[in-house]
Structure 1
Amino acid sequence: MRRIAFALIIVAFLAGCREEAEPSCAAIRFEDQPFTVCHFDAGDPGLALFHTHPDGAPYGDFDRLAEEVSSTGGTLVFAMNAGMYHEDRRPVGLYVEDGEQAAGLVTRAGPGNFGMLPNGVFWIDENGAAHISETLAYEEVSPAARYASQSGPMLVIGGALHPSFNEDGTSRKRRNGAGISADGRTVWFAISDAPVNFHTFARLFRDELGTSDALYFDGVVSRLYAPELARDDGGADMGPIVGVVRRSVTK
């Protein structure tokens, strides 16, 4: 935790030296593995999920989303793939965008990482606060979410690692996900910049970033958009995307 705290002190210092310094992203090492992490206030008004362009087709990539945001007077300052999807880029599980539900909650176990229960939901409530909930807990509460994306597996659940994770797991891939700090005030996004197993990735969120709940987004397709780090990862077209948008304040 000391390493990331030091990195964020540097970020905060730089933020004070120039205007519009967000996103608060940094390249770090955890257990000698490279990661890039970004953090925002859990109630950041610019935080949202994106899937469908106004023309009716999925955005698919960061540049297309950034162009659309720019056309409406905003700036995309951060983005990351945010959940699993079918070949036609439809979300695999629950997906809600600006209050409109496009796909329903999936509660059953199934094949692949998504079906490795417990899985969970990254969601933003009507007041704009971000949360991560295990799927059955989300179903029980049935919140009126403004945005929601279901994925899996959960990485950290109430401070505990997913019970299926093995410290010596041999499945090592590039991975990305999100976590909420123990006090609920900060949302963390992380991507591994080298292949890691689930156990290492989950411990990054719990032990280094201090999150009590964290959710896996995806593996091989993991991508990050962080202009401040000159980062605009390319690759296959994506489904759901989480992003942060900044808009100028008119005086």
Structure 2
Amino acid sequence: MKIITTFILSLLLCALSCKEKIKDEDQFVIYQVSPHKRTVRLYWKNKDHSILRSIARLKKDVEGRNETLLFAINGGMFEPDNSPKGLYIENFKILKSIDTLKGNGNFYLPPNGIFYLTRNNQAKILETRKFRQSPEIEYATQSGPMLLMNGKINPIFQKKSRNLNIRNGVGILENGDLLFVLSKREVSFYNLAQFFKESGCKNALYLDGFVSRAYLPEKNWIQSDGDFGVMIGISAPMR
């Protein structure tokens, strides 16, 4: 009898878990990846020094490297000329300097932060004020605001906020995996931060708003347009 009861409880828990997963995927495009198992890069310009701008052009650039684009998402805010807003590092080179000024707009909502990848494929998200430049940093993009800090939702967010928009962000799970999220419908900052927290992230960074796009063919989510600055792409060797 005890075995049957345990089995039934397991089935119920599985059903609830599956239902929750379907609900999440109905609201968000979700992609989890280990930076140790897949190639994660930040992109801005192609080899001819032309700004890529769209996911379609990013895909073409990646395929030119004999790689397959598995996932892509815009990777932070940008200036009117499509240059990165704030710090941008690519292939260990600082192409845009860090922005520690105060200003208006989401980028400056306190605190903003930096997402970066090191030479040994470790991913980090830090508040801008805690960031220290290092020759070990291969890629970095600055954006804001921070969604999660040490497992806590940014205190400037309000649960019942009516400030709703399409939003995307990146978080880091306890095992070091990256979690990229794009809302399929308008959400508040609090809702997005809460999703990262419930998913197990300790730190997460907002990337951008209504202009955001994602490319995830394995889930039949293919957005190839856009007019961006920095993009984040995950690729694998072509077979």
TM-score class, shorter-chain normalisation, is: 0.7 to 0.9
Measure, in 2, the Cα distance between the counterparts of 1:211 and 1:237.
29
Are 1:206 and 2:200 matched, yes or no? no
The list of structure 1 runs, each at least 4 consecutive aligned residues, that deviate by more than 6 angstroms after superposition, is: none
Which of 43, 47, 50 does residue 57 from structure 1 map onto? 50
What is the one-letter code of the residue matched to 2:156? S
TM-score between both structures, scaled by the size of structure 2: 0.87
C-alpha contact 1:221 1:235 (8 A) present in aligned 2: no
**Aligned equivalents of 1:125 and 1:79: distance in 2?**
19
Deviations 1:199-248 (A, max 9, x none): 011000001x1100000000011100111122221444111001111114
1:150 aligns with 2:142: yes
C-alpha deviation, 1:127, in angstroms? 0.7
Are 1:44 and 2:37 an aligned pair? yes
Q: Work out whether residues 34 and 192 of structure 1, in 8 Å CA contact, stay in contact via their aligned partners in 2.
A: yes
Aligned to 2:88: 95
Distance in 1 (alpha carbons) for counterparts of 2:113 and 2:37? 21
Q: 2:212 aligns with which of 213, 216, 222?
A: 222
Matching residue within 162, 179, 193 for 2:184: 193
Unaligned runs of 5+ in 1: 8-26
Question: Shift of the alpha carbon at 1:176?
Answer: 0.3
Question: Residue deviations 1:81-112, cap 9 Å, x none?
Answer: 00000111001110001111110111233210
Structure ID, larger Rg: 2
Greater mean deviation of Cα atoms: 231-240 or 109-118: 231-240
* Matched residue SS, 2:62: helix
Aligned pairs for 1:61-140 (under 5 A) are 61-139=54-132
AA aligned to 1:200 is: N
Q: State the secondary structure of the residue aligned to 2:107.
A: coil
Partners of 2:55 and 2:225 within 8 A in 1:
no
For 1:29, the equivalent position in structure 2 comes to: 23
Give the conservation status (yes or no) of the 8 Å contact 1:202–1:214: yes
Equivalent residues, number: 224
Aligned residue identity for 2:182 = I
User: Secondary structure of 1:136's partner?
Assistant: helix
CA distance in 1, matches of 2:232, 2:149: 21
Match of 2:156 among 158, 164, 175: 164
Aligned-partner Cα distance in 1 for 2:224–2:68: 19
1:175 correspondence with 2:170? no
Equivalent pair of 2:117/2:124 in contact (CA under 8 Å): yes
* The 10-residue stretch of structure 1 (236-245 or 198-207) with the greater mean CA deviation from structure 2: 236-245
Contact 1:97 1:147 in 2 (8 A): yes
TM-score, length-scaled by structure 1: 0.83
CA contact (8 A) 1:159 1:213 kept: yes
